[in-house]
Amino acid sequence: VLYRKPGEELEIDLKGAVVGVNPETGVMEVKPAADDKVSRTETTQVTPAAVPVSYAQLASGDYESMYVALDVQVVVSDLNKLLSDNVTVQTVDDERFVLCARQASTFGIDAVPVGSGRLCGIAGIYEGAYAVMPCTGSDITMSSPRFDGGITLPYVLSIMTKTATNGDGKYIFYSGTNGTGSIEGVAATAMDGTGANITARLSSSGGNLGFRYWNENSGHHNLPMKSWTGGKDKDYALFTFPLNETIDGAFRFSFGWSGSGSAPANWYLSYSNDNVTWHTPVPTDEPHFVIPQGKSVGGGKNFFYWTIDIVPQIPLERRGTLYIRVSPYDGTRVDRSGGAIGNGGEIRLHSCAVVEKVPAFNTQKPAGAIYFEPFDNLTTGLDYRHGDKLAGMLNFCGSDISVWDAAAKNGLSGVNVRQRPGYAQIGFVETQTVAQGFYTNSVGSLLTPAFGASGTLRVSFDAMAYKNTSVHANSGAKDMGGDLKSVIVEVIGGGTIDGATKKVVSGLATDAFNTYSLTIDGATASTALRFTSEPASGEFSRWFIDDICVTK
């Protein structure tokens, strides 16, 4: 018996050879007359080139068993599968066929690619359908933006989990296992087909913890990552956003980010359109955000929210890609101990990452209005109407009215009134530094300036109630019972509504603004309105207001 290496080219002298059939296998055999009748010849490496074909040519059968290439992407419904699941791919014209891969192949258990690109393989039939069977992993190069994908602004890449316990994401899937292991090469990818994803690179050889979905009974669904000992040039989390629109002005990046005691406290953000050349928001000589001193994540507490505005120095065009990278700024630890960053220092990327244009509003004053407040000067915080995709950052408000500038206040005053983009939140609950089982309600009230008109006035305003959809029913969150759906409108400085100075407005929706109208009788030039709530002990009373309009 002669053994030869796979791929060797052999020459066999057939003179005196015997042809027969092996009685055990039934396979035809050629037996040379002697060992020296088999010799190795010179070999030339042949690299086959795939023949580009159209779907019509593939479906014709004329290319069966040939090595072909088509430009395709995996259909959205199959993005959470493995390559060996025989996924369906589609051309730009939505012509569909099967990508057929064996589970035993070296790439069979790989996650399917999210983007579009070139698929090469042997043309054939699988279970009665046209198919292309890739030969190696390099036959699948789908890293370009999807035909139907790419993000439009605003966009929320959510880390919300499916259940209250640790487990799979509701809006993203990832290529690793739900547990420990190397983080290298693991991606958390949006299920919506946009191609948006999160990856991380950590240089530490020990203590690495791969992405895993974790609720931790905090309401801040998160992906733990450790360890961050390599500094900003070696360690980073990378957000990838294929673009389905051009970003032609300033944009805003909001995300959840916290750390353990031995993790970096000071952080640096950069962005790119090619994942090679990086730019930073100004200033560049100081951290872009800093985890508060001594506020280590854990026990459901210290899950912080961040927003960074970026005026791009590079083109961010449709069908291009926006890359955002978060990396350590220096060696300062969260616990400020003065020691080195530890090989167990853990970062929690939590809740969501949001890309949106920096808001600007210009609501026209209605005809005949003697007072109109559209809250156009409020531009910070996240829009509550994104829903549970925000996870724990559903409660991410902008600044309190006590620190608004004169333009934002526009004559308004109050307590526990916070910015949302284009509207105001009345009432507040601290969720960043307090565990959800210990949330407490802070009642809010908003007072308008005097309207300067007497007699009968008609008032309209838009309102919406708050409902915590960021956690699951058995999570133990104090506010899972829901916030009040009724609010109080109080007349100050003269006048009544339905014969009283207070009016209860009930039935607020929790997913959209509705308009409510009231009549003030006997108003004076000093008349103003206070918007508030009257919760009972233990009740929560956050709500939203917009477009207050008063006419004579």
Phi, psi at residue 159, to the nearest 5°?
A: -110, 20
How many angstroms separate the CA atoms of 163 and 474, rounded? 9
Question: Do 412 and 512 reside in the same domain of the chain?
Answer: yes
Stated as kind and residue range, the H or E segment containing 467 is none
- In the numeric block, the tokens 């109208």 are attached to 517
298 belongs to a structural domain: yes
269 belongs to a structural domain: yes
- Radius of gyration of the chain measured on its C-alpha atoms: 31
Q: Where are the beta strands (DSSP E) in 75-171?
A: 88-90, 96-99, 116-126, 129-133, 140-144, 155-158
Transcribe 368-436 into DSSP letters.
Answer: TEEEEE--TT---B--GGGGGGGGGGGG-B--BGGG--HHHHTT-EEESEEEETTEEEESB---SSS-G
Residue partners of 387: CB distance under 8 A and separation at least 6? 394, 469, 511
How many angstroms separate the CA atoms of 221 and 410, rounded? 37
329 belongs to a structural domain: yes
Question: What is the DSSP pairing of strand 51-52 with strand 67-74?
Answer: parallel
Q: Can you give the pLDDT at residue 129?
A: 86
The residue among 118, 144, 170 that closes a domain is 144
Question: Do 57 and 193 reside in the same domain of the chain?
Answer: no
* Pair 67, 122: CB distance under 8 Å: yes
The structure tokens listed for 173 are 């899937």
Which amino acid is present at 541?
Answer: S
Q: Can you give the pLDDT at residue 118?
A: 96
Question: Do 276 and 318 reside in the same domain of the chain?
Answer: yes
The CATH number linked to 539 is: 2.60.120
Q: Look up residue 359 and give its DSSP letter.
A: P
How many angstroms separate the CA atoms of 138 and 107, rounded? 9
Question: Do 451 and 509 reside in the same domain of the chain?
Answer: yes
Distance of CA 52 to the CA centre of its chain: 35
Question: Do 167 and 138 reside in the same domain of the chain?
Answer: no
At 101 the three-state DSSP class reads coil
Question: Do 114 and 170 reside in the same domain of the chain?
Answer: no
2 belongs to a structural domain: no
447 belongs to a structural domain: yes
Question: Do 259 and 317 reside in the same domain of the chain?
Answer: yes
Which amino acid is present at 42?
Answer: E
How many angstroms separate the CA atoms of 489 and 537, rounded? 20
Question: Do 165 and 234 reside in the same domain of the chain?
Answer: yes
pTM for the structure as a whole: 0.78
Question: Do 140 and 223 reside in the same domain of the chain?
Answer: no
Question: What is the DSSP pairing of strand 413-415 with strand 289-290?
Answer: unpaired
Residue span of the structural domain in which 404 resides: 369-551
213 belongs to a structural domain: yes
Question: Do 373 and 346 reside in the same domain of the chain?
Answer: no
392 belongs to a structural domain: yes
The CATH number linked to 128 is: 2.40.50
Calculate the dihedral angle through the C-alpha atoms of 239, 241, 242, 245, rounding to the nearest 10 degrees.
Answer: -160
How many angstroms separate the CA atoms of 196 and 143, rounded? 12
Q: Can you give the pLDDT at residue 110?
A: 87
Per-residue pLDDT of the chain (552 residues; tens, 9 = 90+): 777 777 778 899 999 999 999 998 888 999 999 999 998 887 777 788 999 999 999 999 999 999 999 999 998 778 768 899 989 999 999 899 999 999 889 899 888 887 789 999 999 999 888 999 999 999 999 877 777 778 999 999 999 888 766 667 888 877 665 555 566 667 788 888 788 989 888 876 555 555 555 666 667 888 888 889 888 888 999 999 999 899 999 999 999 999 999 999 999 999 999 999 999 998 778 999 999 999 999 888 999 999 999 999 999 998 889 999 999 999 999 999 989 998 888 899 999 999 999 999 999 999 999 999 999 999 999 999 999 999 999 999 999 999 999 999 999 999 999 999 999 999 999 999 998 889 999 999 999 999 999 999 999 999 999 999 887 776 788 998 889 999 999 999 999 999 999 999 999 999 999 999 999 999 999 999 999 999 999 999 999 999 999 999
4 belongs to a structural domain: no
Give the CB-side neighbour count of residue 204, counting CA atoms within 13 A: 24
Question: Do 171 and 203 reside in the same domain of the chain?
Answer: yes
Domain count, the chain: 3
Which amino acid is present at 455?
Answer: G
Question: Do 170 and 255 reside in the same domain of the chain?
Answer: yes
- In the numeric block, the tokens 């003179």 are attached to 15
Residue 173 Cα distances to 162, 182, 223, angstroms:
11, 17, 12
* Closest listed residue to residue 538, CA positions, set 435, 418, 417, 439: 439
User: Which residues does residue 125 pair with via DSSP β-bridges, in sequence order?
Assistant: 130
Give the CB-side neighbour count of residue 376, counting CA atoms within 13 A: 9
* Pair 444, 551: CB distance under 8 Å: no
